[in-house]
Structure 1
Amino acid sequence: GGSGNDILGGGAGIDRLYGGYGNDVLHGQTGDDRIYGGFGDDTIFGNSGRDILHGHEGDDRISGGRGNDLIYGGTGDDLIMPDPGADRVYAGSGNDIVRAMGGGKHDYIDCGRGYDRAYIDKGERTRRCEKVRRR
């Protein structure tokens, strides 16, 4: 992506998407993608595959999709939804919300610095979350 608000989509293979500056929307597809949000309030979708997703700066919205993903929120107040799969979430600094309910797998969630809330299933593991609600 460039300095504006971009929409980027991956293909069927292994993709690397970079948002850059602006409020970007980045969509992975079926491969094991690496997606980097950049500077701005980005929306990131991993889709299927073992994806690595980075929010970077800004108030990002990150959805892992199907697959066992590695998700980094970065700075800002992020909304992170690991979705199905045994995911690892590192929310980073900021006042983040992690919604890991109904995924069916056991996620690991490190909320990081800030006042963070995690809404999770009983089997999920958390670290450094100020508020945890289990279902």
Structure 2
Amino acid sequence: MAIISGSPTSGNDRIYADDANDIIDALAGNDSVGGGGGNDLIYGSEGDDKLDGGNGNDTLDGGLGNDTLSGGAGNDLLRGGSGIDLLDVDTAGNYTLTNTQGIGEGIDTLDSIERVFIDIRDDGNNFIDASAFTVGKVVLDAGGGGNDTLLGGAGDDELNGWYGNDRLVGNAGNDNLSGGRDNDLLDGGAGNDTFFAYSVLSGGANDLDTLTGGTGKDFFYIGTQYGTGYSGSGSATITDFSLAESDKIILTGSASFYNFKLENFGGSSSLDTSIYSSQNDLIAVALDVNVIGNNNAFIFAQANPGGLG
């Protein structure tokens, strides 16, 4: 057993333990601690600390400050302490998050965790469920190429699908949803949500995305910072655009860059607003609503290297 402790210090320390069962007290300062391979007990004490348990069944206690805790493999106890503390999860496969547990490659017990970042590092079809997390923000990042399902919690969450035919559900809160490439289903749920259905940098060539805002004032970005977001046979379908809820469609350029038509795509008795590029490529459809010429429905933003706006 290694015991690392001492008098309180204001230094910003880096401590890396071996594969023994270690007890580490990082004391004051903004410290970075790696537990190694044993069953470790790590105290962050004062400061904004980064604690990583590594392998083994570890106990991490952030103490004072805004800390970042990562349990690693094993069944860990992660206690944030005071401050706004972040649980950092790097996982392959499915993961379920509640206010008190994180269930993935192990079963972790959570206490005083206010923010969560979950990074999915494989190409499988993963199911990440944070719908029962109600105490703060979650960021769900499906960096692989599988067809993933990401369910946000009650906070103002960020969900990123990247590659694959993904399903993203924000649930409650003011969420940001980005489908990335391929054919995605995005549902904001309650709250004022923002949708980036395409890849922000490369656009949505041949991508067919379905966007459902849910209740609240929602923003649907159809243009990228470099121009039109969809090209080829790609387009977005907005299922529930609502002027009554002050929803907005954001397009790059000005209204003269686009052709707006009333057509029937959804098959109902109501006509839909279809939006075509100047090359007459369909880029978006707002079902069952006529918003042609309605200045309250659209925001036109100039393309620039720094983004839309």
Instruction: State TM-score, norm by structure 1.
Output: 0.90
Is 1:94 aligned with 2:227?
Answer: no
Is 1:23 aligned with 2:137?
Answer: yes
2:140 corresponds to which letter in structure 1? L
Distance 1:111 1:119, change over 3 A: farther
Q: Secondary structure at the match of 1:65?
A: coil
2:119 corresponds to which letter in structure 1? G
Is 1:32 aligned with 2:147?
Answer: yes
Is 1:5 aligned with 2:115?
Answer: yes
Q: Which residue of 1 aligns with 2:105?
A: none
Shift of 1:115: 1.2
Higher share in strand:
2
Q: Secondary structure at the match of 2:230?
A: coil
Contact 1:96 1:111 in 2 (8 A): no
Shift of 1:2: 3.3
- Aligned positions of 1:29-68 closer than 5 A: 29-68=144-183
Shift of 1:103: 2.5
Deviation per CA, 1:20-75: give whole Å up to 9, x if none. Answer: 22200001121000000011000000010000100000000000001100010100
Question: What's the % identity of the aligned pairs?
Answer: 27
Shift of 1:134: 7.4
Contact 1:32 1:51 in 2 (8 A): yes
Q: Which residue of 2 aligns with 1:107?
A: 236
Q: Which residue of 2 aligns with 1:125?
A: 285
- Hey, what's the Cα distance between the residues in 1 that align with 2:230 and 2:140? 22
Coordinate RMSD, CA, aligned: 2.0
Contact 1:59 1:76 in 2 (8 A): yes
Bigger RCO of structures 1 and 2 (CA < 8 A, at least 6 apart): 1
Q: Which residue of 2 aligns with 1:69?
A: 184
Shift of 1:9: 1.8
Structure 1 alignment gaps of length 5 or more: none
Instruction: State TM-score, norm by structure 2.
Output: 0.41
1:6 corresponds to which letter in structure 2? V
Bigger CA drift: 124-133 or 30-39? 124-133
